[in-house]
Structure 1
Amino acid sequence: MAARIDLTLDCADARLLAEFWKSALGYVDEPPPAPFRTREEWLAQFDLPDDDSADDGAWLCDPDGVGPRLSIVRVSEPKTAKNRLHIDVRVPGHGGPGEKWARIKAESERLVAAGGAVLAEFEGHHMVMADPEGNEFCVAAASA
């Protein structure tokens, strides 16, 4: 059986990035693990520093349970280099290259409106973008 993965994204503002990635991926806030009713209750079981709070993190999941969970965690150090691992946002749909490129462009424009930025355009294939904190990701068509 293959292992499942979760992704963790370090950040300065977990709430900001959570809203962006929920919009980008169609994800929702993940409920706290049972038997906890809130993230605050869940976090209370750990020996965390006094200045840590539930607002320092966000936990997102695919509402269909297909994609990996995404944890977004505030860290004190700033981003200093290009990501070694990045997310590819795959735009669904079929059609010829022109139709696929139009969907990629439309999704990129939507994500710019949500706070992202276009870094590079590889016409007909994919867009390299950054989230509001500069984490790189790509927008491309879904595989057939």
Structure 2
Amino acid sequence: MDMTLMLTIDCADPPRLVAFWSEALGYVPEPPPGGHATWREYWAAMGVPDEELPAGAGDVPESIVDPEGRGPRVWFQKVPELKTIKNRIHLDLKVGGGRDVPLAVRTQLVTAKVERLVEAGATVVRVTDAPDMGHYAVQLQDPEGNEFDVV
């Protein structure tokens, strides 16, 4: 059985998170299929009734994809409620190269990525600097408060 994985993230502002997570993951906004100008146009061509689509849905990309085709598609699903509690699942962005890379180098790589993500709208929650354990990581929140780690 073939299986693919798509990650769905509930949010209030899909275009904002498309921009942020494209930067965070090195992904690109997913273009509409079949030469359609927008996803809304594509859905209309597929027969989805206009009344089933919320205002603005599909007018701008609401999903991102790995340009190399290796990682999962990420779809940002607009929902009315705001995030109110800690995530039950989170992403770890592994940018440090793993334990074979010297801790000082990993720390520099993580710090550089965190700085770019803060510029893109992330908020630093906590820094875990445990040189005695050979570990350095930073917990952040995306623009809507979803937690993730950079290690």
TM, length-normalised to structure 1:
0.86
Contact between 2:40 and 2:59, CA under 8 Å: does it hold in 1? no
Within a 5 Å distance, the mapping from 1:4-15 to structure 2 comes to 4-15=4-15
Distance in 1 between residues matched to 2:53 and 2:39, nearest whole Å: 16
- Count how many residue pairs are aligned between Structure 1 and Structure 2: 140
1:95, distance to aligned residue in structure 2 (A) = 2.7
Q: Give, as a single letter, the amino acid of the residue that structure 1 aligns with 2:6.
A: D
The structure 1 segments of at least 4 consecutive aligned residues displaced by more than 6 Å after TM superposition are: none
1:62 maps to which residue? 66
- Structure 2's unaligned 5+ residue stretches are 130-134
2:38 is aligned to 38
Q: Distance in 1 between matches of 2:27 and 2:68?
A: 9
Contact 1:129 1:138 in 2 (8 A): yes
Matching of residue 21 in structure 1 with residue 24 in structure 2: no
Structure 2 residue 136 is matched with structure 1 residue 125: yes
Q: Is contact 1:27–1:60 with CA below 8 Å preserved after alignment?
A: yes
**Counterparts in 2 of 1:29 and 1:49: CA distance versus 1, 3 Å:** closer
Q: Which has the larger radius of gyration?
A: 2
Of 54-63 and 11-20, deviating more is 54-63
CA RMSD of aligned residues (A): 2.1
Q: In 2, distance between residues paired with 1:134 and 1:55? A: 24
- Identity in percent: 40
